[in-house]
Structure 1
Amino acid sequence: MAQTDLPLDQLRAYRPSLPEPEDFDAFWEKTLAAAAEHELAARFEPVELPLPGVEVLDVSFAGYGGHTVKGWLVLPAGTREPLPAVVEYIGYNGGRGLPHMHLLWAAAGFAHFVMDTRGQGSGGLAEGATPDPVGSDPAFPGYLTRGIGDPHDYYYRRVYTDAVRAVSAARAHPLVDSARVAALGTSQGGGLTLAVGGLVPDLVAIAPDVPFLCDFPRAATLTDRLPYREIGQFLKARRADRETVFRTLSYFDGVHFAARGRAPALFSTGLEDMTCPPSTVFAAFNAYAGEDKTIEVYPFNDHEGGGPYQQLAQLHWLPGKLRT
């Protein structure tokens, strides 16, 4: 796949004019306040595994609507004092999978909290364990158009709220240093990272890799790949709903959350990425309000972005933020 988006010099200057709802902040304040009415009820059950280097806990907590959300907490073996923590969000249609899939950050000496994504985890390589008990109006298969007729009913309202509550759940464990928590994720996980970075003001760092859920108007018309293509397929049948759809999506656009983020941030993008086109990533990066921000650019990579090279970049960058 050749580079099909804007040239790099134009990407670095790309700042789309995206309408932001006047009640954007009020919408999220009310959403999170309603979630806070439910007890967090974070539970951590030890899991016996033949992995002597780590201790694994099966996590459950109350997310949006008090619904149970699952996760893993992976700690370096023998942890006795609170550690800085990395909260990770998962890519589209992935689940939390099995604990041995999440050893990197514990190996680096940190607590690692992995949030399962409600309703997902049956179409990728890793299974999920969290149902989404909320129904939906007619939608195109996938998650991106579920409840898209109204921001209050939209699927990602629930997921973004779960993601914020996951930070609280991680902080609830006595071996997590609640003052030193970072968030990261790839693709959908990167989009959730941006949302949490805009909604949780005291994170010490965020690292969104090739983030999804950014600059919806451009993404929906630039790429024919899923998941963004779900929007076009939905509107192909529901021709009169375009204005409603993009108004709903404006409450969930990573560009708006980026404009509220202040924590040090390490982004990444692949210039041949047709799943999350680089212009949509740069839209969020250029809007990011924090002064300490960097983007790693991989000119000949698609949606895998930097892959292990980006993980290595994080391993060099993130400890300096978590250990200060």
Structure 2
Amino acid sequence: MSIPTDYPFDFDPTYGMTLADLRAIRPPESPEGFDAFWQKRYARALTVKPEPRLSPSKDTHPDWQVSDIVYTSTDDTSIGGWLLTPRKGEVKRGLVVGHGYGGRDQPEFDIPVEETAILFPCFRGMSRSAHPPISPDAPGHVLHDIDDPDHYVIGGCVEDLWVAVSALLSLYPSLDGHIGYSGISFGGGIGALGIPFDSRIKRGHLTVPTFGNRKLWLTLPTVGSAHSVQEYARTHSGIFEKLRLYDAATAATRISVPMLAAVALFDPAVAPPCQFAVANALPKSKFNEIFILDAGHFDYADSAVQQAALRERVGRLFRGL
């Protein structure tokens, strides 16, 4: 292992926890009405006609045809992003790829899949999906309507994921039953919240997912989006109770499809106990895998080796779609 020991933070990004400690973390108790809350939102998202519009992109790649895409999500929100389709071969599967809390300025060309239509949406408020007055920056974005669970921006982002699936299916109806989701950090948390309530998503990959175990998320020191919520909570009571409906670990207990979760032992932006709360919540199954990274959101000695091994597993997971 090469867990970093030299870092510029005034806290320990391992939080003093060993791998055994992290593996022992259990998901929090579900709040009353959790399933009904998300099922209602999903039913509403299914009524949206995304009407995806494609146009040529300035991005090019020898293996992928790159298109800019815009589709309509819930609340008549315009979602922008990119669609990759293979230059050779047919489209046999679909993949929606979420982004971290830094947004996205281009598609990824190194995802290890073939014969796949890959949709890279920018979640509402961020990058190509700017939507004032939602802040495009993580510290402000994560606070948008946080006091109102029915309108909290994170719920809208989950709906953007569901409508992304609808957009793929409207373009390629034959992909029904062959769609997966991959997300990192912020996108990992959105995936954990969205996958269990959308039966159209058949496999999922989450790397260093956020929003797990909100009680810990609100208390552990961090340089990530949780920091601004922690600051906000100091002068606004009741935030924890409202965020219980947005706990990615609670949601993960409901996931029933094959999953790959990559979680880190050291992470200054998404506390490892919160990541492991999500991974450990996944049902015990021969189809699920937890992949351990030495660190997340931080450079470290074995990063390239571990990322290559993770990439191989990602490819194996989605080839089964």
TM-score higher than 0.5 here? yes
Between 1:171-180 and 1:245-254, the stretch displaced more is 171-180
Q: Which residue of 2 aligns with 1:315?
A: 312
AA aligned opposite 2:293: Y
Higher relative contact order (CA 8 A, sep 6+): 2
Structure 1 residue 118 corresponds to structure 2 residue 141:
no
Deviation per CA, 1:122-175: give whole Å up to 9, x if none: xxxxxx111235669xxx942222211120121111111111111121222238
Q: Which residue of 2 aligns with 1:303?
A: 297
Alpha carbons of structure 1 residues 210 and 49: separation in structure 2 relative to 1, 3 Å: closer
What is the rounded CA distance, in whole Å, between the counterparts of 2:209 and 2:308 in structure 1? 15
Q: Which residue of 2 aligns with 1:61?
A: 71
Q: Which residue of 1 aligns with 2:10?
A: none
What is the rounded CA distance, in whole Å, between the counterparts of 2:40 and 2:308 in structure 1? 35
Q: Secondary structure at the match of 1:10?
A: helix
| Residue ranges of structure 1 left out of the alignment (5+ in a row) | 121-127
TM-score by length of 2: 0.85
Count matched residues. 304
What is the rounded CA distance, in whole Å, between the counterparts of 1:231 and 1:5 in structure 2? 23
Alpha carbons of structure 1 residues 310 and 58: separation in structure 2 relative to 1, 3 Å: same
What is the rounded CA distance, in whole Å, between the counterparts of 1:235 and 1:200 in structure 2? 31
Alpha-carbon shift at residue 311 of structure 1 (Å): 5.4
Q: Secondary structure at the match of 1:222?
A: coil
Q: Pairwise mapping of residues 174-253 of structure 1 onto structure 2 (< 5 A)?
A: 174=172, 177-238=175-236, 241=237, 243=238, 245-253=239-247
What is the rounded CA distance, in whole Å, between the counterparts of 1:117 and 1:66 in structure 2? 13
Alpha carbons of structure 1 residues 250 and 46: separation in structure 2 relative to 1, 3 Å: same
- Does structure 2 retain, via aligned residues, the 8 Å contact 1:116–1:130? yes
Q: Which residue of 2 aligns with 1:15?
A: 26
What is the rounded CA distance, in whole Å, between the counterparts of 1:230 and 1:199 in structure 2? 28
Q: Pairwise mapping of residues 1-324 of structure 1 onto structure 2 (< 5 A)?
A: 2=5, 3-16=14-27, 18-47=28-57, 50-79=60-89, 81-95=90-104, 97-98=105-106, 101-105=107-111, 108-120=114-126, 128-133=127-132, 141-174=139-172, 177-238=175-236, 241=237, 243=238, 245-289=239-283, 291=285, 292-299=287-294, 301-304=295-298, 309-310=306-307, 312-323=309-320
Alpha carbons of structure 1 residues 315 and 181: separation in structure 2 relative to 1, 3 Å: farther
Alpha-carbon shift at residue 259 of structure 1 (Å): 0.8
Q: Secondary structure at the match of 1:142?
A: helix
Q: Secondary structure at the match of 1:205?
A: strand
What is the rounded CA distance, in whole Å, between the counterparts of 1:37 and 1:111 in structure 2? 23
What is the rounded CA distance, in whole Å, between the counterparts of 1:189 and 1:135 in structure 2? 17
TM-score by length of 1: 0.84
